[in-house]
Amino acid sequence: MTMTAEHRHPRNGMSVRELAAKVGVSEKSIVRWTSEPREVYLSRAQQRRVRIRELRETGLSNACDRR
């Protein structure tokens, strides 16, 4: 069964290993059930890279420099 973004399940603070043991399935199954779709991840990563470039152009190296 393929999971879509609408069917993702939260881990509620549990590790993959803990949740797999509790549910009685493989760790790989838990990762598939809880991970975000690749397209969403890649989009967020691109947004972060753009924001980092913007900060560096203004002389900031990370969010901590904004204090």
Spans of all domains in the chain: 1-35, 37-67
Mean pLDDT for the chain overall: 83
Residue 66 carries which DSSP code?
A: G
**CA pair distance 59, 27, nearest whole angstrom:** 42
Instruction: Work out the average pLDDT over 38-60.
Output: 93
**CA pair distance 57, 26, nearest whole angstrom:** 45
pLDDT of residue 9: 75
Task: Write phi, then psi, for 18 (nearest 5 degrees).
Answer: -60, -45
**CA pair distance 27, 33, nearest whole angstrom:** 10
**CA pair distance 37, 16, nearest whole angstrom:** 17
pLDDT in tens, 8-47: 777 788 999 999 999 999 999 999 888 888 999 999 999 9
